């Protein structure tokens, strides 16, 4: 890309505290090649200077630039947050290049969160337990890894339902995927009374259940039931659990497409349940519509996206931003 083409032009948007770069208005995606040729291609002239990024593949859809720009603006930090498409296997190289260019840090999204754990110099305990890194801080020649997904979920559940995750009995649909694993580990660390792990490929849920039992405090069984239980994605087996659960989390990708079949039969949903769908686009999945029809309270994953961002920002800059302008930025986007 030619230097002139990428030089950020600015325009005033009413209500913005400072010029907003045109780069942020379009789903602009950078590449590893861009990072390698940054200065030679004139990218050092980009104003505000990119200091944060999200790496993933695909990454064009990510709302993280809008989310974090609202946080940067709050603190008056000159800099912008960009998207970088990175191929599997190139995560460490991407970190090295960003660190060399003076980036503060980055977020890591699908499919790189597990690779990122191997690519950082150090990871905190939570990231190690989740087995994935979604936030990296470049500090003193070190790449430090964190995971803000679990803490983001805790805050999202508190915000949406005015209850604490630790006080809920939880079923996680799709516990075998990356997002489901993060939610499940967080539930175990919160010492939830019960965690039921549901997965289409049952072995993944069974293996995770064994791992999570080691993270619980206190008794691993309650009455006749194990506090952590694995189940296949079988409606009858799921239905048999629901009367003794409070929260159902969808961490599968089912619902992303309008044509997706229902994940669960609507008839098994009960009105006492809270239903949290990690999917936020579409805003109301089939599961959330069925839950509302059954009298359940439900919410989508926009609040988790918001709060994981707040926690990530705290890792980068020490202070956490006010979530409200960030929420507004997500809604605008
Ligand atoms: P990841 O989050 O690791 O990228 P994914 O492929 O997006 O993984 O899948 C996330 C979760 O959605 C997994 O638990 C997956 O179940 P499997 O482990 O059995 O693959 C689940 N999932 C994906 N498609 C599904 C479907 N059509 N029905 C039920 N579960 C599904």
- Domain of 226 in residue numbering reads as 151-303
What DSSP assignment string belongs to 131-181? T---EEEEETTEEEEE--HHHHHHHHHHHHHSS-GGGS-EEEETTTSHHHH
Distance from the first to the final alpha carbon of the chain: 26
What DSSP assignment string belongs to 125-138? HHHHHHT---EEEE
- Please indicate whether residue 197, judged by its CB atom, sits closer than 6 Å to ligand 1: no
In a domain, 323, yes or no: no
Same domain, 57 and 91: yes
Closest atom, ligand 1, to C-alpha of 204: 18
- Please indicate whether residue 57, judged by its CB atom, sits closer than 6 Å to ligand 1: no
Entry pTM: 0.90
Nearest to 68 by CA among 57, 83, 56: 83
Give the integer Cα–Cα distance in Å for 31 and 93: 12
In a domain, 316, yes or no: no
213 CA to centre of ligand 1 in angstroms: 22
What DSSP assignment string belongs to 198-234? EESSHHHHHHHHHHHHTT--S-SEETTEESEEEEES-
**What is the three-class DSSP state of 267?**
helix
pLDDT digits (tens, 9 = 90+) for 121-134: 999 999 999 999 99
Same domain, 36 and 128: yes
236 CA to centre of ligand 1 in angstroms: 20
Same domain, 26 and 64: yes
234 CA to centre of ligand 1 in angstroms: 15
pLDDT digits (tens, 9 = 90+) for 71-104: 999 999 999 999 999 999 999 999 999 999 999 9
- Please indicate whether residue 110, judged by its CB atom, sits closer than 6 Å to ligand 1: yes
**Catalytic-residue membership of 57:** no
Residue 42, Ramachandran bin (φ over 0: left; ψ between -120 and 50: alpha; else beta): left
- Residue 41 belongs to domain with CATH number: 3.40.50.10860
Total H helices, total E strands in the chain = 13, 17
In a domain, 291, yes or no: yes
- Please indicate whether residue 201, judged by its CB atom, sits closer than 6 Å to ligand 1: yes
| Residue 325 contacts residue 66 (beta carbons within 8 Å) | no
Instruction: Band the pLDDT of 2: cuts 50, 70, 90.
Output: very low
Give yes or no for a cis peptide into 48 (omega within 30° of 0).
yes
Closest atom, ligand 1, to C-alpha of 173: 14
Same domain, 274 and 233: yes
- Please indicate whether residue 114, judged by its CB atom, sits closer than 6 Å to ligand 1: no
Q: Total structural domains in the chain?
A: 2
Residue 21 has pLDDT above 60, yes or no: no
**More reliable by pLDDT, 7 or 49:** 49
Choice among 7, 36, 57, 113 that is catalytic:
113
> Percent of the chain, pLDDT > 70?
92
| Residue 137 contacts residue 146 (beta carbons within 8 Å) | yes
Same domain, 192 and 280: yes
Give the mutation target among 177, 183, 206, 263 for probing the ligand 1 site: most ligand atoms within 8 A of CB.
177
Same domain, 22 and 157: no
Residue 28 has pLDDT above 90, yes or no: no
Same domain, 160 and 290: yes
């Amino acid at each position: 890309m030619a230097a002139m083409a990428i030089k950020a032009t600015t325009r005033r948007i009413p209500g913005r505290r400072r010029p907003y770069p045109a780069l942020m208005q379009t789903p602009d995606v950078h590449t590893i090649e861009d990072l390698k040729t940054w200065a030679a291609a004139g990218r050092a002239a980009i104003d505000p200077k990119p200091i944060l990024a999200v790496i993933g593949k695909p990454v064009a859809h990510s709302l993280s630039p809008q989310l974090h720009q609202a946080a940067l603006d709050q603190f008056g930090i000159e800099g912008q947050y960009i998207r970088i498409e990175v191929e599997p296997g190139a995560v460490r190289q991407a970190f090295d290049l960003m660190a060399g260019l003076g980036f503060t840090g980055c977020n890591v999204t699908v499919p790189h969160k597990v690779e990122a754990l191997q690519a950082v110099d150090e990871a905190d305990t939570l990231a190690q337990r989740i087995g994935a890194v979604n936030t990296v801080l470049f500090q003193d020649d070190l790449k430090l890894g964190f995971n803000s997904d679990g803490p983001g979920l805790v805050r999202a559940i508190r915000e949406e339902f005015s209850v604490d995750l630790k006080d809920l009995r939880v079923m996680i649909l799709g516990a075998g995927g990356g997002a489901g694993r993060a939610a499940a580990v967080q539930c175990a660390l919160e010492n939830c009374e019960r965690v039921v792990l549901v997965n289409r490929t049952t072995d993944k849920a069974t293996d995770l259940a064994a791992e999570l039992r080691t993270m619980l405090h206190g008794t691993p069984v309650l009455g006749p039931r194990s506090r952590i239980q694995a189940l296949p994605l079988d409606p009858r087996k799921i239905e048999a659990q629901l009367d003794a659960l409070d929260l159902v989390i969808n961490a599968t990708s089912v619902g992303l497409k309008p044509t997706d079949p229902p994940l669960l039969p609507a008839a098994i949903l009960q009105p006492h349940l809270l239903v949290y769908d990690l999917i936020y686009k579409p805003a109301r999945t089939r599961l959330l519509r069925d839950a509302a029809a059954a009298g359940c309270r439900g919410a989508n994953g926009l609040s988790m996206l918001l709060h994981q961002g707040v926690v990530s920002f705290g890792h980068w800059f020490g202070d956490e931003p006010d979530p409200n302008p960030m929420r507004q930025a997500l809604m605008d986007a």
